[in-house]
Amino acid sequence: MEDKRRRARVQGAWAGTAKPAPRQALQASNLKAKPPPWASESPTEKLFVYKEPSEVIRKAPEPRVIESPGTHEISVSPSGVSRLRLFPSFIDPKEADWMFEQLHREIPWRQKTNLGPDGHYQEPRLTCWYGEIPYTYSRSTMQANPHWHPLLTMLKDRIEEVTGYTFNSLLCNLYRHDKDSIDWHSDDEPALGSNPVIASLSLGETRTFQMRRKPSQEEKGDYTYVESVHVPLDHGTLLLMEGATQEDWQHRVPKEYHDRQPRINLTFRTMRPETSVQN
């Protein structure tokens, strides 16, 4: 009896049913011939294989926001270190209030006419230049003006004392409202010499001082993916730009799209008469 059973099992007839084997074989061969899309032979391998994207997806880096007092290295390159030094409340707010009022009232503000690639345009802010020699930017010259307002001389002395630098010139800027602005540029006119130090004091409304790193040669002048820095400059804040900052970075104060009160910005510089050429 045991021997009979063993034989029956070997023949696949243990359950006593009519030959299921050919039917199963047919189904298996159908599957092999045309597998449904979800039924791969080794699903784990096929469904979870990582494929390199054929195009590299690049994202512009988020701006680095600098608000804390102190020294901030923003880049290092063959030109050197680019460094910002931030002095929030360099002028106490109460003092800054009357200084703003007095400068707003007493500086002989003018609107400058510049020459750009599309012709002449009015700079969207008011300015005033103080210094022994003329200052040219955007192909338009501001004449020498050695008659410093006494408050500006006092501020220059205070900044020189704290920073250890000396300055002989000053560009005053008045942003009357949210639509006043200055576009991307570097303070790199030949008359400022190499690695110029710029001391920038802000009074009045807070505006964002934006910086972007000049692109490497491979980027062929494309600023899309460069590093950027944002510095909110508020009432009484002093910002110092040092080292290779003007060579390796550009800056701007963009227009804003909500109401903005006036802002005065004073940028102290050192002009070098021997390199002062008109451009």
CA distance to 45, 51, 57, per residue, from 54 (Å) = 20, 9, 9
| Number of residues this chain uses to bind ligand AKG (CB under 6 A) | 11
**Footprint on residues 229-248 left by ligand AKG (CB under 6 A):** 233
Which residue in 209, 240, 242, 243 binds ligand AKG (CB under 6 A)?
209
Please identify, using beta-carbon distances, which residue of 171 and 244 lies nearer to ligand AKG. 171
Q: Does 90 bind ligand AKG (CB under 6 A)?
A: no
Tokens of residue 118, six digits: 């599309």
The strand pairing partners of 231, in sequence order, are 209
Q: Smallest distance from the beta carbon of 117 to ligand AKG, in angstroms?
A: 19
Question: Which pair of structure tokens corresponds to residue 4?
Answer: 């009979």
Of 135-164, binders to ligand AKG (CB under 6 A) are none
**Would you say 86 and 239 are in contact if contact means Cβ atoms under 8 Å apart?**
yes
Residue 55 neighbours by CB under 8 Å, 6+ apart: none
Q: Specify the residue for token string 């010139």.
A: 169
Instruction: Report yes or no: 164 and 240 within 8 Å, Cβ to Cβ.
Output: no
Q: Is 87 in the site for ligand AKG (CB under 6 A)?
A: no
| Residue from 66, 152, 253, 271 in contact with ligand AKG (CB under 6 A) | 253
Cα–chain center distance at 268: 23
Contact string 161-200 vs ligand AKG (x = CB under 6 A): ----------x-x--------x----x------------x
Residues that bind ligand AKG (CB under 6 A): 171, 173, 182, 187, 200, 209, 233, 251, 253, 265, 267
